[in-house]
Structure 1
Amino acid sequence: MIIATETVIAMRCPSCGKLEFHKLSRFDFAGTNTVKVSCTCGAPKLIIGTKNRQQFWLQIPCVLCETNHLVYYRARQLWNEQVNFFYCSDTNVELGFFGPDEKVRAVAENYEHNLETLVDELGYDDYFFNPEVMFEVLNYLHDFAEEGYLYCECGSFQIEIDIFPDRIELQCKDCGAESVVYAETDDDLINIQNIKKIELVKNGFKFLNSIKNNNSNSGKNSGPKPKKRNKR
């Protein structure tokens, strides 16, 4: 009988949105009762704990309801040959999954694990001026983040995203620098498709809807900053 000793957890970061894979071994708990998993951006993703090595709990920060979910698994559930999913208990939206390395990566590759599905499930279609453009722009931003092409001039990769009906506002969590990405028209989508990276600056917003031939137009925000919507 072969006993599995490693599992791979796949989940998006509640801070930057990157989907990453984290190996978890039974031996990680040698000499300790808790294991902390963090994103490459530095944000905490989940805590795994146990008292008896037979039952384990996962504390998961939820990006949807902005609270921590606590779920329990037996050791044989964490380390087996099946892919298991965990969900937000309030919305029943999938937050991540775990299992054997190859199977988890296959699920991640074939599954439409993107923000369009997430927003559809939450019923935000009527919130956006142009949902199709918004979803595409959000996917581009997440691709930038995963490739390391979304960052601040201060050197930080910890970028907070606030979503409005017509745009996405980006803010550096370290220095407060801000940029705006518009996501309302086909031209806005073309603009984001024509750039290679986004760098936040301290001296004002970088208006990405003014990009032509891959050149950005930076400037001060000419009006008051719109009030952020309440996060759900």
Structure 2
Amino acid sequence: MEAFSERGLNFVTELKSKRKVRNGSGYNVPYKDLSEHFRKPHGEVYAKPLASKRGKGRPCLRFTETKVVQLKSYKSPIRVVALYNKRSSRRAFGYFASTDRTMPGATVWKFCRARWAIEVMFRDLKQNLSFGTLPCGGENASDLAVAMPFAIITSLRLRPEIWQVEAGLTIGSSISIVKDRALSRSIDLLGFECSVILRNRVRARRDAARSGRKPVDQAAA
């Protein structure tokens, strides 16, 4: 936060309930857990469904409690918005902070919800595209292992028709469809009339006489 403030920028983030804060700046005001300062929601905020739900569903209603508090290890007061699922709740499910003390609570939550899309993207990169796993060594291989998953995700988002998937699907669903389609084609190729051609092609490429030379398919013709 300090680095952003020094550059004249505002910072919005989510805070853990055990972060130490106080509701004053005097020496006699003790720091307590963030959750101890928020107990009574009094405001309301609506939010659109997350992108993972493809924009379907009704806007969700949440209840808010907003305070300006002093965060330990940060010199300036910050605005904190606590979100509750019910008006009768006495424990918030999330605490969202902004260095801009005039920012509406709905805007603070909107920014934090948008950040969740980044977490979803990295989950898709790791779970579906082996992001962070290097199949081989070398600088070029490392660059490809980082760049290719991002390129695939970008292509799936911007040009889903190239992959023959429906626009608006999650990355995980799109990749599953592409994988299933490729597997079905492979099974069809191996199981029906093309199997003879495929076997001959494989034999030609594995011919010991062509060891160390460029593979060709003439023998399979």
For normalisation by structure 2, the TM-score amounts to 0.30
Structure of greater Rg: 2
For normalisation by structure 1, the TM-score amounts to 0.29
